[in-house]
Amino acid sequence: MRTATHTPAPENGTPCPACGTPNHQHRNFCRSCATPLTPRREDNATGPYAGQRPPLHRDRKRWIARALVAAAVVAVVVGGVIGGPPAARAVQDHFAKRVAVHPTAWSASHEDPQHKAGLAGDSYSNTWWGTGYAEDAAGTYLEATFGQPTDLLALLITPGTSKRQGQQSEQARPQEFDLVVTDSSGKQHTSHRSLNDGGVQRVDVRVRDAVSVRIILRSAFGAAKDKQVAIAEVEFFARSKN
C-alpha cells in the first residue's frame, strides 16, 4: 500500500525558459529541468581583483628597461664630467676599443743565456724568459720598451714555460711582482700585483703615454734550487686611435 504523499503547493511565477514550468520567484533553477532561471551576467571587466597588483604590459616593461639603461649611461658620463679629467679618461678607457701593441725592445736585469728577455715577447707561448737564478729571484726584472708613447690599458701575462698544464710547471712561476710603468714625462706609475698559479692572466693598467713597462719579481710559485722563474709571454694592449 502506498502512503499518502503531500501534494506540493502550486508555484506561480516566471515560467522556465526551457520547459515552461512555473517556478517560485526565489528559485534559481527550474524545479522540473534545472535550467538556470537567473541568467548570468558576463563579467567583461579586465581590471585586477581587490588586492591584486595590475600586470605591466610587455611594451611598458621594455620601455622601463631602456629608460634604466639610458639613465645608467648618462650617470656614467655625467660622473666623468663632474669628476674632472681623470674620471672622464677612466670612462673613455672603459669604452675604448683595444688593440695589441708590440714593444720595440726587451731587456732584463738577469736572463738565462738560452731563455733571453726577448722570448717573452716573440708571440710564441712555448718559448720563455728565464731569470737564470734558482729560487724566487726576488728583485729580478723584465722590461719592455715602446717605440712611441702608448695609451696602455692592459697586459696579458702567461706565467711559466708554456700555456699547457703539463709544461707550465717545469720551472717556477711569478706570484707577486711590482709593475712600474713609465710615461713620456718620466713619471713612474708603480703598483703591486699578484698572479694565480698558471694560465693566461690579464692585468689592467690604464696609463697614458706609456714608454716602458717593468715587471719586478717579488715571489714565485714552485720556487726550488733546481728551478728558475719563467714567463712564457707578455702581451700589451692599448687604446685604439681610430
pLDDT-above-70 percentage for the chain? 77
Domain of residue 66, residue span: 62-95
Phi then psi for residue 87, to 5 deg, are: -70, -40
202 and 227 inside one domain: yes
Q: Which of 233, 205, 211, 213 is nearest to 96 (CA)?
A: 205
| 55 assigned to some structural domain | no
Task: Read off the C-alpha cell for 181.
Answer: 710603468
pTM (global) more than 0.75: no
- Domain match, 73 and 164 both: no
* The predicted structure's pLDDT at residue 227: 95
pLDDT at 120 over 80: yes
Q: How far apart are CA 157 and CA 97, in angstroms?
A: 20
Count of domains observed in the chain: 2
Instruction: Look at residue 77 in the predicted model and tell me its pLDDT.
Output: 62
Q: Using 50, 70 and 90 to split pLDDT, how confident is the model at 54?
A: low
Q: What is the mean pLDDT of residues 61-66?
A: 79
Residue 166 and residue 70 share a domain: no
Tell me, yes or no, whether 77 and 165 share the same domain.
no
> What is the β-pairing status of strands 141-159 and 105-108?
antiparallel
Give the residue-averaged pLDDT of 170-186. Answer: 96
